[in-house]
Amino acid sequence: MLNFELYFYLLKIKTLKLSNNLKIVNDPIYGFITIPSTLIFDLIEHPYFQRLRRISQMGMSYLVYPGAHHTRFHHALGAMFLMQKAVQVLRSKGVVISDQEKEALLIAILLHDIGHGPFSHAMEHSIVENISHEEISLLFMEELNTIFNGSLTLAITIFKNQYHRTFLHQLISSQLDMDRLDYLRRDSFYTGVSEGAISSERLITMLHVKDDLLVVEEKGIYSVEKFIIARRLMYWQVYLHKTGLVAEQLLMRLLKRAKVLTHHGEALESSKALSYFLQTSVSPKDFDASVLEKFSKLDDYDIVGAMKSWQYHTDFVLKTLSSMLLNRDLLKIDIQQKEIPKHKISEKIQSVMQQFNLNEDQASYFVFSDSISNQAYRMDKDTINLLTKSGEVVDVAKASDQLNIEALSKKVTKHYLCYPKAL
């Protein structure tokens, strides 16, 4: 009897594993995305990854483009789908990629953004100190590797660019990787900005490997050109849009103010996870397993929930910044080519001090200056190389006959000044 029970138990386990392999996700851009293995399914099911459902892909951009509410979860699955296609294409062209390497690639691209905090980039410059989301992603991957008994070791090695086959890392992180191919198309779709609508399938179909480096077949040059132009336009029109820029800066300053008040003994209403990071200065050396666990509890809802409470706080800076973000009543922004004169910034700060009866430190939350830059293509690092019919590898910037890509490689910097609309 016991043998029969054991048999049916094992049969049940086997059935569950098979069902995991058959799991599909319906994506609005690519259609059905298949979860290729039980391990990847289990990684997706893990709370660390499920948290990405509550992290917006484009931060505060929804204040400009109302449809931009898609999440890091969407993006991670989309990038994994494109990686599946890329492996399929390369294998069809005779590039040897083992099943272990394939799974490692899929895991690495799936988890490449798992370290993002609430509203994506705002956390990197406010609550945690001197640690990027890439570093936190690696910490999450290493912790998951422990949980899954070393199953992520190869994925981490490739992610860190320590694997002997360079092109595998380039598929994850380069100027033409699966990350960029997905987010440009996805962000274009959800914002409605057609300039970012690239043909990711066409670009992937043109991929090849030469001397262990990722290359694009020569006939794909026009698709590459469109990709570079699309990236440039999306940055100026979407990612660096002045309204989204102001909102992100205000959010960073809001969290900074909350942290200052907390360190001065103020008890701010917030979630348990957010309270910890407001009270504690966290640097890279402090990011142990317990801190990582606390970080994994943070998402967009922590910040929004806190702002809804903070808008009624007695501190003028905290309540005003919260109200501005919640009600989209933002600062005015002036953008120009030349650096903002210091005397102009000082004049604005003095005006705010007088008008709202604030000291200089408080006024600096509402008047500030910085710069933004955009470089569509870099010729000094991880260049996009074309494979000619003769077998020669050429930088796309040198091979382009219709478009001066070298001109697009020039870094364009703009300066901005933010201040209250009442001034």
**176: in domain:** yes
Could you please report the per-residue DSSP string of 97-146?
Answer: --HHHHHHHHHHHHTTTTT-BTTBTGGGGTTB-S--HHHHHHHHHHHHHH
Which pLDDT belongs to residue 74?
A: 96
Report whether 122 contacts 255 (CB < 8 A).
yes
**163: in domain:** yes
**187: in domain:** yes
Give me the residues paired with residue 417 across strands.
334, 369
Reading the block at residue 132, the tokens are 């990027």
**75: in domain:** yes
**203: in domain:** yes
For residue 230, the enclosing domain spans: 19-111+152-234
- Which residues make Cβ contacts (< 8 Å) with residue 221, sequence separation at least 6? 386, 396, 399, 400
Give me the residues paired with residue 416 across strands.
335, 370
**301: in domain:** no
Report whether 127 contacts 259 (CB < 8 A).
yes
**124: in domain:** no
Residue 352 has phi, psi (to 5 degrees) of -65, -40
Sheet containing 412-419, strands listed edge to edge, beginning at the edge strand earlier in sequence: 332-336, 412-419, 368-374
Distance CA 65, CA 58 (A): 10
Distance CA 180, CA 82 (A): 10
**281: in domain:** no
Question: What pTM was estimated for this model as a whole?
Answer: 0.91
Residue 163 maps to which CATH number? Answer: 1.10.3210.10
**Tell me, what DSSP letter sits at residue 284?**
G
**For each of the chain's 423 residues, which pLDDT tens digit applies?**
445 555 444 444 444 444 455 689 999 999 999 999 999 999 999 999 999 999 999 999 999 999 999 999 999 999 999 999 999 999 999 999 999 999 999 999 999 999 999 998 777 777 887 888 899 999 999 999 999 999 999 999 999 999 999 999 999 999 999 999 999 999 999 999 998 889 999 999 999 999 999 999 999 998 999 999 999 999 999 999 999 999 999 999 999 999 999 999 999 999 999 999 999 888 888 888 999 999 999 999 999 999 999 999 999 999 999 999 999 999 999 999 999 999 999 999 999 999 999 999 999 999 999 999 998 888 888 899 999 998 999 998 888 765 677 777 888 999 999 999 987
The count of domains in the chain is 1
* Residue (of 118, 133, 130) closest to 60 by Cα position: 118
How far from each other are the two terminal CA atoms of the chain, in whole angstroms? 84
